[in-house]
Amino acid sequence: MGERIKEEAMEIITAFSSSSLPRLVVFDLDYTLWPFYCECRSKREMPKLYPQAKGVLLALKEKGIDMAIASRSPTADIANTFLDKLDIKSMFVAQEIYSSWTHKTEHFQKINRLTGVPFKSMLFFDDEHRNIEAVSKMGVTSILVDNGVDLRAFRQGLAEFSQNSGSSARDKQK
């Protein structure tokens, strides 16, 4: 199943020209990559991702697009244990996991400092509207997921990113 989803996700990526792809894709954790709040779980459990999430991550990895995590989870130790158990921890170039009073604007400032990737070259997936609202104001293309990261949300994210980057390219020519 993971392989088939990965192939489909790679086809979705290939449908966009490489100049209109994000340089960095940032994911929330709870209710975006996995269907629970990790603060309510035990480190001893074996977590599961949403069914199509791993395929999307593998496709981005294979296409050489960097990935990062922006989570406001108060239990970074549990989140890190789960990322390890799922064997995906090494896929992320930045992992910002801590609670904060802001709606992830701090997380994104940190990710920007760490990676050097400008906000307008980032694509972000999250299940909370307030985070989407705050982060999109920074210039990041931000997609609200309602049932975790899946192929539909992924396609929508790349399409919106491509539209946003297209309009900024036109703005520059004026």
Residues near Mg ion (CB under 5 A) are 28, 30-31, 127
From 17, 49, 64, 74, select the one nearest 125 (Cα to Cα). Answer: 49
Shortest distance, CB of residue 32 to Mg ion, whole angstroms?
Answer: 5
Strands 24-27 and 122-126: parallel
Shortest distance, CB of residue 59 to Mg ion, whole angstroms?
Answer: 22
User: In one letter, which amino acid is 154?
Assistant: F
In the complex with Mg ion, the residue whose CB is nearer, 34 or 161, is: 34
Contact 15, 55 (CB under 8 A): no
Strands 122-126 and 141-144: parallel
Residue 127: active-site member: no
Residues 6 or more apart in contact with residue 107 via CB below 8 angstroms: 70, 71, 72, 96, 100
Shortest distance, CB of residue 72 to Mg ion, whole angstroms?
Answer: 8
In the complex with Mg ion, the residue whose CB is nearer, 52 or 165, is: 52
Residue 30: active-site member: yes
In the complex with Mg ion, the residue whose CB is nearer, 124 or 161, is: 124
Q: Which of 30, 66, 126, 127 is catalytic?
A: 30
Catalytic residues: 28, 30
